[in-house]
Amino acid sequence: MEEIIFKNVESAFMKVRCKKCKNEQIVFSRPSSDVKCLVCSELLVKATGGKGEVLGEIIETYS
């Protein structure tokens, strides 16, 4: 069971860490398609049509 808290829902970009390989990458918070880890292809953000569902670990958000 995971709980993901968005500190700033207005943030357009965020830094997310891949739970599998620990790679960190900047992702858009409302992606139009699924965002995968550039290193291991693990799904980081799932496209929902609105705010993406973040499956990785959010390190930082940018407004």
Task: List the binding residues for Zn(2+).
Answer: 18, 21, 37, 40
Q: Tell the smallest beta-carbon distance from residue 28 to Zn ion (Å).
A: 17
Give yes or no for residue 40 binding Zn ion (CB under 5 A).
Answer: yes
Residue-by-residue DSSP string for 3-50 = ----S-TT-SEEEEE-TTT--EEEEESS-SS-EE-TTT--EEEE--SS
Give yes or no for residue 42 binding Zn ion (CB under 5 A).
Answer: yes
Binding test (CB under 5 A) with Zn ion, winner from 18, 45, 55, 58: 18
Give yes or no for residue 57 binding Zn ion (CB under 5 A).
Answer: no
For residue 52, the SS3 value is coil
